[in-house]
Structure 1
Amino acid sequence: MRECKTPNVPSFSALRKKQAQLTREVNVIPRAHTSALGNKYYMNHPLDLLALDWANPCVRKLMQVYPEVTTTVSQLYHGSKWVEELDLDDLSPMWANWKVASHRHFYIKELAQLSNGQYVVPLKWIIFKNIEHAECYRVSHYPESNIFIIQTHEVARIPATELRYNILDLCAQGITMKFAGSPNWTKNQCNPVRQIANGKPVFHLRIMPWSDDVSGNVSKQYNPHMNIYVVNANIPHKKLSQEYFVRFCCTSPNASSGEQFDGMSEDFKPGKYHPAYDCLLEQDILFRIDPHCLPADNPAQAENSSGSGAKANFRCRYDKSGGTATEYETDEGYHAQFEPGISRTPEETVETIKEQIFAACLGVQDAVDAIHTRTGVKDKTASFWMEQLVSKARALQNERISDPRTRDQRLNDPTLKGPAKAEVKSEIKAQIQTELFDWVIMQPPERYAKLPTVSTSTATELRPGDHFNVLLRLRGLDPHKDSPFEILHTYLLGIDKYVWHDTSNPKVWDDKKCELFATRLQSSSIDGLTLPPIRARYLVKYRNSLIGKHFKALQQLAVFHFDESLCPPLVLELWKAIGELGAMLWYPEIKNMAEYQADIKILTANVLDIWALIDPNRINTKLKLHILPHGPDDIQRFGPAVVYATEGFECWNAIFRLCSVLSNHLAPSHDIAVTLADMERFKHQVSGGWWKNDSGNFVQAGPKIRDFLTKNKQLQRRLGWAQEITITAGAVKLCAVEKRDPLRWNEALGSCWQPEMSNPAGNVLWNRCKQVISQSGDVCKDGSWVFFKDSKGAVSPGRIFKIITPSSTPTLASVIIEQFALHSEADKRLNMPILSNIHTSAVIGPTDLLFKFNCQHDCQRHKCKFVEDTATVRQGRTVTSPNELPLTMHSVDDDYFLNMHALHNAHLIRETLPRALTAPRPYLADRLATHKELAAQLRVSGPAKRAETNAKRADTLQKNKAARAGRNQRLTENGPRGNNSDEEEVA
């Protein structure tokens, strides 16, 4: 900058000093933690990070602090957990009419008076029909005795603006409150939070933490780190999917996610209220945070819920189903894998962990392992202590029972024999067990010393965070139910991956079949799918190394290109089932939750049943198949599966890796936390956020700094911020001047012209348009398939032939539609609606376009042929030979499949089509009977396979034992290693 003659350029040290000062003022400062296992790490605490959201005008306007009751579920705060399950005290406790009387705060569980003079007690605040409401008990008042009776038999929903006086107003009016037959909390009359707030507004936020192991290297060499990120769950999902809203909390190459969650749990204490500046209300507030759910991949979710994972007998983090291989093969055990079982609870899991720790105090590892095997509970923190307890117990037992020099004097008595001696040994072991249990309670010593008093119950019991998973004891969180199935890892990298492997296995597909499928797939139409261009040859060549985006493409398109030459009929049925289920799992919004739940359950059952017919034992070996039946409950509680998908977190790993690579690798947890705290500070300030400077005043950056984010696309891209774009339905965009091709009305319509099509603009030239925006916000072009409203108001499918606009009035555009008829019955082979060209056209206005969808030609029926693609391929800056793969030449342009596996607009397609074409049908008429038949088959094949495996294992062990014996004998005969021949032999 100095070389460019820029004036007043600060020195580098002055710049760094100023940056450090600003970061200190913004108050995102990494704090050091030492876990119960002795691992050290640094954390940017969520309370500090979310305090910035209140002061950031780009974020504050998006935050919804109250749950919303709605028939259309599309957000986390629409789910039943937030709306129905949470304790009243875990929701935002107060409301005020900020425009009329911002000083009058109404709290839950307090008496209030309505504008009509009636009394109520608000229970919680909700959004209903976009208006803030209070769900409350009505109160009967008897003035003659001054008694208030709360009518707890009915909950009324009242607009919050009807509230007139709060409890402070009523007390000021001299009203003495005496409650009769009321809940216990009326004894306090005032909500305890009111005293904590001291006149400040108080809100609760819910966060969604994510944890996973991530490599700190860009190269293939794995450099393991355990990371935790969080997002503000009170923000709409459309924004949460942007990297801007993902907040880094901590990382460590040593500390596990459970250890780091223990440090984070400090922010979740019930009375932990944090100050912040609300830029919308322009005043100081208090807020607290709570974890809402724990999205992650399945191994991380198993660890978060203290489960043993996929290889255990009782492997499910949700329920208690499972058992040994023999139990899986019983009729009851096999069918249980297809349905949700008896739910696990945190209380039972904690009791099991305590049982394991107490058993470890006896020094018998087999006893601990037996509990693991019997329950499927394996806690990482508890395992750390159990290893020490087993070792200590054995050492003490040897000292007091076995060693003649130090053992108990009673055991030296030669007359003590038989049962009497065994009883003494048992007594000593019990004493050692009690001593060790008392010892572990006082571990770690530095944490035990900080407990309030030794007399409290926490000082005589095992403690969360110190001795077992802290997530099992967090208020409002159940790790078993609140670790929802995740569509990326469970469906794309699970279900889709399994079926693709079975289909394209090298034992099944040779090079000729691979070439045939690649050619067919490359010819697919992707308009209306929001997919990048298909790289079919890559998908086939590297079919064992695909990632999520590849499986997303295969899930939507592969079924159209399979026939008996590429896969058996039952495998095709499986592809159809996973495509139908996948389309519904990616719903962005659900308008009829009951119907959606019923459909999802049928489609899930179909996927599992068809797979069982192909391979009965697959569901016993693949946990992700058993996870699927829990999906409907997760969607009921948290909303559509896409709102808690983890793609946003996974993408954010690239930012973490750059911080790791560019650090000095000496203190990664500290250095990366500091770097990303500085980034949070910069992001906050450049977004126009407020902060308190050293003088105690709230300030924000100047207008030019704030405009830097809104006007600089490069900065937006680097911060992961997508600016809100206003899309006008019906807006058209003209082609470039040289491509507009101005023509008269009849010439512009070409083959679609019909005599009854009157010219809406008179004798003027019409220009071609590049695109038009539908009602759903889709960008539609020539050839796009759309649903539109015709002149009679009926909704019909069609294909855009041309978009034109009169040169004299560019705003009066017209869309020429080729009309297609929808068959009353679905195709029997693919179970998809059929569209047939009726060779008529319609002229509609741009605002009559509803939404876009995807269609695929019925190539197998019409026996379409392949032709060489003459399009050239560019490699670098060089134009090379024509495309290697041929393209499909459709022989007839009449029949098309409406792609029901498409993810884009899947919900709109099913709302528009007749229910008869979209309602799922069970694949098996009697599931239970079929499962019993399959279980009977497993009871024959299962023992045989296990016997074969055991025989191979025994044979391998015997060969290895013989090889070691022969090597040892040669070493003995030849002496120590000294000559080359011996060294070569040993090597």
Structure 2
Amino acid sequence: MTRSAAPVPEPFTTSPDGKMVKCKVCAPHIPLEPKRWMLRGSMSTHLKTDSHRGHAHAGHTVSLEERVRMNEQQAEAERAQRDTQATALQNLPDFHMRSPAPREQSQQELGMWDEYEMNGGSFEIAEDPAELAEREGRQWLEREVGELSIWNAEAFAKAIGFGDTVNVDILEDDPEVDELLAEAMGNAREWTCQLSLRQGHMTRSTWLTFRYHFADVDEPETANHFGGTQGARKNNEFRPYDTKTMFLLDVLDNLPHLRISDSLMKVFLWILKECGANDVPSFYRLRKMQKSLCEHSGVPTLPCKSGQGNVFYINDPRTIIAKDWANPLVRKYIHVYPEITDGPISEIWHAEKWRKDMDLSALSQMWDDGNGVPEFTVKSILSGYPIAMPNPERTYARGRPIYTSLIDLFEQYCDFKKIIESTHSKPIETYDALTNDEVLVKLYQSSGPADNPMANEICGHMIGRANLPCRKCNVGGTHREKESDEVYHSMFTAGEPRTKGETLAEVVSQVELACLGVASHVETRQTASGVKDAYTQPWIEELINRARKMHQDEPNRTHESIKQELLAWVEENKDRVYNSFLTMKGFDPNRDTPVELLHTILLGIVKYVWYGSHSTWSEASKKTFAIRLQSTNTNGLSIHAIRSNYIMQYANSLIGRQLKTVAQTSVFHVYDLVSDKQFALWKAVGQLSALLWFPEIRDLNTYLVSVYHPYYHLLKLNASKPDRQEDVETAVANVLDLFAEIDPSKIIEKIKLHILAHVREDILRFGPLVGVATEFFECFNVIFRMCSILSNHRAPSRDIAYQLADQEAMKHRLTGGHWRSELVSDSGSAVWECAGPGVIDYLREKPLLQKLYGWTDPQPKAPGTFGLAPMTRGHGQHVRPSVNFGDTATSKALNAAAFSSISQWNPCKYIVARSGDQCIVGSWIVGESPIDNSSTIGRIVEVLSQGISAIVVIDVFHAASTRHPLFDMPMLARRQEETTYLILPGKAIQFEFNVQHDCHSAGCRANGVRPVVQERVESDLTETFIVHEGLARYVINTHAFHNAHLIRHILPRNLTAPIPLYDDRRKKHDELAATLRSSEDEKRRKKKEKEQQKQKEKEAKAAAAVPIHSSESGDPGATQDHGSRKKRKAK
């Protein structure tokens, strides 16, 4: 018979099964029902928790004085009970026991007593360990509460049980004081407990029991084998974490560059425990807390299955976008409306896709200025407003603003497309950190940044050699047709544009052909059109096989009936069969896969010219290039440290980072190592690369657009020059023409060259191409790999998605992002919460944490900010170096009279320019002259500071009126070859740029020798380096990417604008086409001769292997050989 459960005391109530109990005092304060229940064994522990006492205090409002009085009464009652028990013991009857026999003392005992009496020794009675721990704990609490300056620590210590109770005066009840006292009391108990444990008066099991009974736990949880402090107190400062320790452990577990395994985390917890740290959770409790955070403020991870049946996981993009809107640091950078800017074009919302080409329904259709202005959709305004009111979107908006957020995706798009389209009918509900209101957000595709093979897949284009090889246009033809003058010339320009409607129609036609079961027909059509969709291709192959099998199983069935049956299946499964990119609203794959800088420029044309150069060099030439490259001035280049020997050693395997260095600097080092045409190509590639890395376009007319563009009147074009080509067009033309002149076949074999012809239209559509470069995604690869390093790779995408989701949630909490709370307001609306001030301020105040998370201060350093030179040791202490103004080069400046010659100044390491550059001594800068406010070019000689301001002295140089005869770049020299110093205010520095010494004109040679540094010390080996001659002539590096737009803005256009190579490009292209035909005819002739020669050799070999058969000879071997040959032929 089952025994019924014992009744529970107040204020508890039991669950229906009798196994769990719930506190009626605390339950109303716990939002989740499962969290309200606890084990029956936890009742006594729960009554002692701070949370229960706080809730009981809130319900009964017992003052602190009353609680002290009640404690005194309880202590008096306990003392009276002890006195009664003592009296009862005294009244017990006497028991007469036999006295023990006297024991004879040993010689040792007698000697001990004699020694005691002779020497007058004394004994002390040992103190009770409990009393000793109590006194030590009272002293510890007295010190801690005294430091807090809360009240009389001694009186309060007595009031809470450390010693005899007395009547004391207590201050007024203050929640903040109560919280500090609660923390002090808990620490005092912990300290007393640890003291007893160290002195041997308490066992470890008793100590764990003591810790448990003073913990705030929902259930009696046993720590893992490492142990841990259970039930830490709830700290609102570090919400949603219980304690600061829990917060820091979660931070440690989600570092993007440093992954912590479970075993290592257990070691950390053990170390913290052994060091006596407070609030150290067990490993189980830590993981439980992280799981809880993920459920209510994390990013969901969704399982998906591709059309071919592959299983993978993704993080919900709706939640990620919602967190961006709810994050104050991110929200201010989110734009929802197109802009017609009067200033530079720097973002996609300045360009034509948002302004002219996008479907209006895919943009934010309402305007919300927060002042009650009527909100109209664009369609309503264009149509005259009255016909479709109210707006149907108001049915689910319920007064909330609705916006559109454009995102970029290019992998596993089918499932992403479903999620994106779901937001069109059910928008994302999120918190707008800019307006502090709840808003709705729809998602649409913006662009598809990818390398060229991936871009071809997105567009459904054939990867490899096709008759029409471009994914963006229909240029091309058969190989013979490409050799003709007309088609060959068309390869240098953009052809008739492709559209996603045409591409989808072609894919549908191929699917219909596949239903006939003839693969060759489909292949012929794919080659002719250039459309071969990688997503649909597996289904095409399956349809071909199914059609063949159906025809084999039913020979009498017509091809048309089989086709109709298969097409019916395709119609039912068209979402699985056809490429999702081709059916996405607001996204045109052929136009929205822009030219990608990393893979088309650096890993394309730069790599081509680099290989064409170094592959012909001798060992001496390679060594010469390496020495020159290592001597490059890198100030103003914003590149990594140059390792020239590494670049030459792995010349065929360079990555984008190294090719970026090669593109910006090689022109100064290869002038006598390559042919004239190759050197001209180096200059053209460097010039184009710098133009494409512009972060902003100040004058679109000058930068890009010719007057033949259909929107030239909207872009304020200068119609007085109808035949001109602008910078980017000219630079692209020069690159293509030079590649073709070196090898005419390159233009039809390397599709990356033709893709350059589409640069102009992509810039018009998206703005500067650096804004859609995949280089940003490539930099994320290290994070992606670190998320996989601790996985067992049985579920790789899931493990990576989980870790990325945790990092996303941690980033959101650290930066002050909001998330939907589990609570609901009185009006029924959602409640949005964020992390506590301790969490948010921690990232702002801890530089180490910022570095570990890759966080940069959103507030850049103000212009004129300087960094002082390091302190030096003098007279046993560190001293800030200072100089007398009269002893510096600054005193020789033209405007030095404005400063006292005896004033003291501090040398500085750097000064911050208006562009944000940190300019050091030796940097070349453009500054604003204090004499006439004009732009002045010079090299920094000194940076000095006095108080909170700094001055910069520069060696003034002037730009020559003509370009360098070899490098085609602006030159710098001193006026009359005289050194002139000029003092500029620190805030007058505009930007830094790169300059190289004119070693070609000066005749600089590699005649310097220095020891090779190995293991950070100088070895016995030596290396040579360039020693610059005394000629003070320099060249402005217009191939440098950094501040390329700024240096071109201050220099005259005749010094920087690209110069067309040929006045009549068509005539040149016809010449190159003729050369191509001649070379291709020669190749075909040689190939035919080679094939004929092989055929003759084959026939001769076959004839030699067959002997002449003669019946007269009677040779049995001949007959046998002839018979075996007949058998082989039959076989």
TM-score (norm 2): 0.67
Aligned 8 A contact 2:1011 2:1023 in 1: no
Cα deviation digits, residues 356-409 of structure 1 (max 9, x gap): 0111111110100011011010112321221111112222223333xxxxx46x
Q: Does residue 547 of structure 1 match 2:664?
A: no
Residue from 429, 432, 437 that aligns with 1:283: 437
Question: Could you say what secondary structure the match of 1:186 adopts?
Answer: coil
Taking the aligned partners of 1:953 and 1:558, their CA distance within structure 2 comes to 43
Percent identity between matched residues is 37
**What amino acid is the match of 2:612?**
D
Taking the aligned partners of 1:924 and 1:528, their CA distance within structure 2 comes to 33
Matching residue of 1:845? 985
**What amino acid is the match of 1:502?**
G
Residue from 902, 911, 914 that aligns with 2:1052: 914
Matching residue of 1:451? none
Matching residue of 1:414? none
Q: Does residue 589 of structure 1 match 2:700?
A: no
Cα offset for 1:720?
Answer: 3.4
Cα offset for 1:500?
Answer: 0.3
Matching residue of 1:94? 366
Matching residue of 1:80? 352
Matching residue of 1:796? 936
Cα offset for 1:8?
Answer: 3.6
Q: Does residue 375 of structure 1 match 2:503?
A: no
Cα deviation digits, residues 772-828 of structure 1 (max 9, x gap): 1222222112211112222112222111122234xxx43453322211121111112
Q: Report 1:46-61 matches (<5 A).
A: 46-61=317-332
**What amino acid is the match of 2:995?**
C
Gaps of 5+ in 1: 112-120, 124-181, 212-227, 229-256, 402-406, 409-427, 444-462, 967-987
Query: 1:644–1:957: structure 2 CA closer, same or farther, 3 Å change rule?
Result: farther
Matching residue of 1:559? 667
Cα offset for 1:769?
Answer: 2.2
Q: Report 1:829-840 matches (<5 A).
A: 829-838=966-975, 839=978, 840=980
Q: Structure 1 stretch 619-628 or stretch 938-947: which is displaced more?
A: 938-947
Matching residue of 1:450? none
Q: Quick check: which has more Rg, 1 or 2?
A: 2
Cα offset for 1:709?
Answer: 2.3
Q: Does residue 768 of structure 1 match 2:907?
A: yes
Taking the aligned partners of 2:600 and 2:394, their CA distance within structure 1 comes to 45
Matching residue of 1:613? 741
**What amino acid is the match of 1:716?**
Q
Query: 1:688–1:621: structure 2 CA closer, same or farther, 3 Å change rule?
Result: same
Q: Report 1:619-638 matches (<5 A).
A: 619-638=747-766
Matching residue of 2:591? 481
Residue from 689, 694, 699 that aligns with 2:817: 689
TM-score (norm 1): 0.77
Query: 1:346–1:950: structure 2 CA closer, same or farther, 3 Å change rule?
Result: farther
Cα deviation digits, residues 873-925 of structure 1 (max 9, x gap): 141x544346x442222222411111111111100000000122122211111
**What amino acid is the match of 1:558?**
S
Cα deviation digits, residues 673-728 of structure 1 (max 9, x gap): 22322222222222222222333442222211222322334443443332224312
Cα offset for 1:26?
Answer: 2.4
Cα deviation digits, residues 494-530 of structure 1 (max 9, x gap): 110000000000xx11110001111111111111111
Q: Does residue 941 of structure 1 match 2:1079?
A: yes
Query: 1:963–1:49: structure 2 CA closer, same or farther, 3 Å change rule?
Result: farther
Residue from 171, 183, 191 that aligns with 2:391: 191
**What amino acid is the match of 2:637?**
L
**What amino acid is the match of 2:957?**
F
Taking the aligned partners of 2:1100 and 2:604, their CA distance within structure 1 comes to 41
Aligned 8 A contact 2:894 2:982 in 1: no
Q: Does residue 702 of structure 1 match 2:818?
A: no
Cα offset for 1:654?
Answer: 1.8
**What amino acid is the match of 1:823?**
A
**What amino acid is the match of 1:442?**
E
Cα offset for 1:569?
Answer: 0.7
Aligned 8 A contact 2:927 2:990 in 1: yes
Matching residue of 2:892? 753
Question: Could you say what secondary structure the match of 1:23 adopts?
Answer: helix
Cα offset for 1:940?
Answer: 1.5
Aligned 8 A contact 1:539 1:546 in 2: yes
Taking the aligned partners of 1:299 and 1:307, their CA distance within structure 2 comes to 9
Taking the aligned partners of 1:271 and 1:287, their CA distance within structure 2 comes to 11
Cα offset for 1:264?
Answer: 4.6
**What amino acid is the match of 2:377?**
I
Higher helix fraction: Structure 1 or Structure 2? 2
Number of aligned residue pairs: 797
Residue from 290, 293, 313 that aligns with 1:42: 313
**What amino acid is the match of 2:857?**
Q
Higher RCO (CA-CA < 8 Å; seq separation 6+) = 1
Question: Could you say what secondary structure the match of 1:802 adopts?
Answer: strand
**What amino acid is the match of 2:915?**
S
Cα deviation digits, residues 264-291 of structure 1 (max 9, x gap): 5544x63241111223322321111111
Query: 1:698–1:766: structure 2 CA closer, same or farther, 3 Å change rule?
Result: closer
Higher strand fraction: Structure 1 or Structure 2? 1
Aligned 8 A contact 2:360 2:378 in 1: no
Taking the aligned partners of 1:553 and 1:341, their CA distance within structure 2 comes to 33
Taking the aligned partners of 2:778 and 2:1095, their CA distance within structure 1 comes to 42
Query: 1:885–1:824: structure 2 CA closer, same or farther, 3 Å change rule?
Result: same
Question: Could you say what secondary structure the match of 1:293 adopts?
Answer: coil
Q: Structure 1 stretch 368-377 or stretch 841-850: which is displaced more?
A: 841-850
Q: Does residue 815 of structure 1 match 2:952?
A: yes
Aligned 8 A contact 1:837 1:893 in 2: no
Matching residue of 1:364? 518
Taking the aligned partners of 1:756 and 1:205, their CA distance within structure 2 comes to 54
**What amino acid is the match of 1:75?**
E
**What amino acid is the match of 1:378?**
K
Query: 1:737–1:305: structure 2 CA closer, same or farther, 3 Å change rule?
Result: same
Aligned 8 A contact 1:110 1:186 in 2: no
Aligned 8 A contact 2:1002 2:1031 in 1: no
**What amino acid is the match of 1:474?**
M
Taking the aligned partners of 1:549 and 1:319, their CA distance within structure 2 comes to 31
Aligned 8 A contact 1:321 1:336 in 2: yes
Question: Could you say what secondary structure the match of 2:942 adopts?
Answer: strand
Cα offset for 1:81?
Answer: 0.7
**What amino acid is the match of 2:336?**
V
Query: 1:744–1:479: structure 2 CA closer, same or farther, 3 Å change rule?
Result: same
Cα offset for 1:754?
Answer: 6.1
**What amino acid is the match of 1:490?**
T
**What amino acid is the match of 1:83?**
R
Cα offset for 1:869?
Answer: 4.2
Aligned 8 A contact 1:94 1:108 in 2: yes
Query: 1:742–1:702: structure 2 CA closer, same or farther, 3 Å change rule?
Result: closer
Cα deviation digits, residues 815-851 of structure 1 (max 9, x gap): 2221112111111221101111222222222222221
Q: Does residue 665 of structure 1 match 2:934?
A: no
**What amino acid is the match of 2:333?**
L
Cα deviation digits, residues 165-206 of structure 1 (max 9, x gap): xxxxxxxxxxxxxxxxx55x6311332222321111211111
Query: 1:892–1:552: structure 2 CA closer, same or farther, 3 Å change rule?
Result: same
Matching residue of 1:891? 1029
Q: Does residue 349 of structure 1 match 2:503?
A: yes
Aligned 8 A contact 2:452 2:599 in 1: yes
Matching residue of 2:683? 576
Cα offset for 1:955?
Answer: 8.2
Residue from 727, 732, 736 that aligns with 2:861: 727
Cα deviation digits, residues 329-357 of structure 1 (max 9, x gap): 11111111110110111111111111101
Query: 1:6–1:504: structure 2 CA closer, same or farther, 3 Å change rule?
Result: same
Taking the aligned partners of 1:276 and 1:531, their CA distance within structure 2 comes to 40
**What amino acid is the match of 2:508?**
K
Matching residue of 2:778? 650
Query: 1:330–1:272: structure 2 CA closer, same or farther, 3 Å change rule?
Result: farther
Taking the aligned partners of 1:20 and 1:768, their CA distance within structure 2 comes to 54
Matching residue of 1:169? none
Gaps of 5+ in 2: 1-271, 705-725, 825-830, 873-878, 1105-1131
Residue from 919, 926, 943 that aligns with 1:787: 926
Question: Could you say what secondary structure the match of 1:97 adopts?
Answer: coil
Taking the aligned partners of 1:6 and 1:533, their CA distance within structure 2 comes to 44
Taking the aligned partners of 2:627 and 2:278, their CA distance within structure 1 comes to 62
Matching residue of 1:526? 634
